[in-house]
Structure 1
């Protein structure tokens, strides 16, 4: 088991699976929310760049 990961996060490694889930459970909605924000921003950026390329090809 990688103890440095727990130490860096300020957590102690739990013996049981339920205890370990109790430590990481509060982080899950935060991480999934961050992932969704980054994913949607990345998709919008890709969409905008493809539209710009399309406009460039059409009008030039």
Structure 2
């Protein structure tokens, strides 16, 4: 496994998980988790956006 693939995997999995968790919490108006859902979803978006320059910067 290449270094680039390993780093991408370790950032993509938690980023996508946070994004999905935040989106799910935003959609559950019944439990009143809108504000934490927005915060967690935003953290996931930021983590996934960090992958773009990281993947371009890592050279094999």
TM-score, length of structure 1 as denominator length: 0.44
**Of the two structures, which has the highest relative contact order with CA contacts closer than 8 Å and spacing of 6 or more?**
2
TM-score, length of structure 2 as denominator length: 0.44
